[in-house]
Amino acid sequence: MALRPAAFTPEAPEQEQWVPTKALSRAVLVVGVALLFGVLLGRADLVVLVAPLALSVAFGLTRRPHGTPGLRLSTVESLPVEGGDIGAMVEVENRDTARYDLAVLQVQHSPWLRFADGDRPHATAVARGMAASVELSGPAIRWGRQTLGPASAYAVAADGLLRSKAVVTGALGVRVYPMTEPFAADEAMPRAAGLVGQHRSRRAGEGGELAGVRQFVPGDRLRRIDWRVSLRTERLHVAATLSDRDAEVVLLIDLLADAGKSEGIYGTASVLDRAVRASAAIAEHYLHLGDRVSLLEYGASARRLRPASGRRQFLTVLEWLLDARPSAVARERAGAQLAAGISADALVVVLTPLLDARSASMLAGLAKAGRFVVAVDTLPAELAAPTGSNWSGVAFRLWRLERENTIGQLREHGVPVVAWAGAGSLDAVLRDVARLASAPKAGAFR
């Protein structure tokens, strides 16, 4: 188990490191008042009465620590996913010759990290020259770069008469990757390019799909000989197969607008949540098939992740998705400009809520440029109408009708639109996209 320690805070000057507690102040007050009245009234019994208290205070102060406690905040190095547990450890160290009667620890953290004890402080005794630790664990309920810390601690020593100044660590960043929703697309890709994937191709080659039986020619492998046909025809024949090919999948995420409320994996999901989780699921599926996957952002920063395949690319995709942020300001790029950087054989999966007119124009431009485009609708079906006015409900219904009209226009111009629904979401659409590979190109979108 590898731990990542947080930075220590600089130590304060020695004279400021320990301060009296209220118990010491009360003890000094009681002893002082008793001695004063004993002297003024000639009451020796009052002096005898408070003598044990004064001696105990003096004895406690002889065990005064000189340095503040050391504090370290650590997390377990792992790849946490939404719903998975996050482990953390807070360690307080007594580097002095006197023991600590009590050390009180508290850790602040992101609200998306649900530790079992919440934000409540933890108390523990620490012997001299020793260290004590408190372990924290709980689920992370939303993807993103979450914050753990800072952690703070103070110690009580000298029989509760002295308290140290609080020491505070720095904060740690915790990466929580999006949960990959169940997804499987069994339909063939529109076109395939390489020779390392699992999609059936129309081109002959080494693969698992039988294309027929033909006569043997020099260069054919002996293991391909079909002995049954060869014995019947008295000439060598081999089984011909179709090559298995990989495809390039471009995930284009529309970040022009966000809607809905994000409540983590146990509640409702916003547009951004659905887009990020769907992107992770689609990328995982096609990378598992050996395809190349790239990501493109339609928003303010216009980030791009180059196409690649394999397990490393999947981890890179998850890391890339952590920085997805909605922004109403976008770089003005039409669909034709985006298509210039996308392979003509690639399948472009656009995850969009279709809340901005520029999104529809971009989709139509990609289709007009000859790209195979599938639009995945990420708008939550349970999105409620805004309140605050008597006309809010009417305006919301009119907006819904206008949006459905836009979706219908996109479909008429060759851009299939499907709502994200997990497993099999794209199967029916991919069949249509495969047919579009030989169909005339889409016209202009108005």
Whether pLDDT at 99 is above 50: yes
Query: What pLDDT does 195 receive?
Result: 40
DSSP annotation of 7 = P
Query: What pLDDT does 434 receive?
Result: 58
Amino acid in the structure at residue 179: M
Amino acid in the structure at residue 11: E
Query: What pLDDT does 79 receive?
Result: 76
Query: What pLDDT does 90 receive?
Result: 92
Query: What pLDDT does 252 receive?
Result: 95
284-300: b or e for each residue (b if 16 or more CB lie within 10 Å)? Answer: bbbbebbbbbbbbbbbe
Q: Tell which residue, 104, 90, 61, has the closest CA to residue 3.
A: 90
Query: What pLDDT does 410 receive?
Result: 92
Whether pLDDT at 446 is above 70: no
- At residue 4 the predicted structure's pLDDT band, cuts being 50, 70 and 90, is low
Mean pLDDT, the chain, integer: 82
- At residue 445 the predicted structure's pLDDT band, cuts being 50, 70 and 90, is very low
Question: What class does CATH assign to 248-436?
Answer: alpha beta
Query: What pLDDT does 441 receive?
Result: 47
Query: What pLDDT does 335 receive?
Result: 64
Pair 271, 353: CB distance under 8 Å:
yes
Give dist(CA 159, CA 164) in Å, integer: 13
Query: What pLDDT does 429 receive?
Result: 65
Which residue is associated with the tokens 């609200």?
111
61-79: b or e for each residue (b if 16 or more CB lie within 10 Å)? Answer: eebebebbbbbbbbbbeee
Give dist(CA 121, CA 152) in Å, integer: 9
Q: What angle do CA 182, 186, 191 make, to 5 degrees?
A: 125
Amino acid in the structure at residue 125: A
Between 370 and 295, name the one with better pLDDT.
295
Phi, psi of 41 (to 5 degrees): -95, -5
**Quick one: average pLDDT of 161-167?**
92
Query: What pLDDT does 199 receive?
Result: 47
Is 3-16+64-176 CATH 2.60.40.10? yes
Chain centroid, CA 114 distance in Å? 15
- At residue 412 the predicted structure's pLDDT band, cuts being 50, 70 and 90, is confident
Q: Give residue limits of the domains in the chain.
A: 3-16+64-176, 18-61, 207-243, 248-436
Pair 371, 342: CB distance under 8 Å:
yes
Q: Tell which residue, 177, 174, 157, has the closest CA to residue 165.
A: 157
For the chain, the maximum distance between any two Cα atoms, rounded to a whole number of angstroms, is: 134
Chain centroid, CA 414 distance in Å? 34
Give dist(CA 354, CA 270) in Å, integer: 14
Instruction: Give the strand pairing for 304-308 and 292-298.
Output: antiparallel
Token reading at 232: 């019947």
Give dist(CA 404, CA 354) in Å, integer: 10
Query: What pLDDT does 442 receive?
Result: 46
Token reading at 146: 């979450």
Pair 60, 158: CB distance under 8 Å:
yes
Give dist(CA 420, CA 193) in Å, integer: 27
Q: Tell which residue, 279, 351, 374, 354, has the closest CA to residue 318.
A: 279
Give dist(CA 137, CA 88) in Å, integer: 6
What share of the chain in percent tops pLDDT 90?
Answer: 34
Chain centroid, CA 14 distance in Å? 43
**Quick one: average pLDDT of 217-242?**
82
Query: What pLDDT does 194 receive?
Result: 44
3-class SS string, 102-158:
EEEEEEEECCCECCCCCCCCEEEEECCCCEEEEEEEEEECCCEEEEEEEEEEEEEEC
How does pLDDT run across 231-289, given as a tens digit for each residue?
888 888 888 765 445 578 999 999 998 988 899 988 889 999 999 999 998 899 888 88
Phi, psi of 367 (to 5 degrees): -65, -40
Q: Tell which residue, 209, 285, 288, 220, has the closest CA to residue 244.
A: 209
Crossing angle (nearest 10°) for helices 22-41 and 44-61: 150
Give dist(CA 145, CA 172) in Å, integer: 10
Q: Tell which residue, 269, 252, 283, 271, has the closest CA to residue 185.
A: 283
Between 119 and 157, name the one with better pLDDT.
157
**Quick one: average pLDDT of 188-203?**
48
Whether pLDDT at 433 is above 80: no
DSSP annotation of 177 = B
14 three-state secondary structure: helix
Which H or E run includes 335?
A: helix 335-340
Pair 208, 241: CB distance under 8 Å:
yes
How does pLDDT run across 111-148, given as a tens digit for each residue?
999 998 777 899 998 988 899 999 999 999 999 999 99
Give dist(CA 126, CA 73) in Å, integer: 17
68 three-state secondary structure: coil
Number of H helices, E strands in the chain: 9, 19
- At residue 95 the predicted structure's pLDDT band, cuts being 50, 70 and 90, is confident
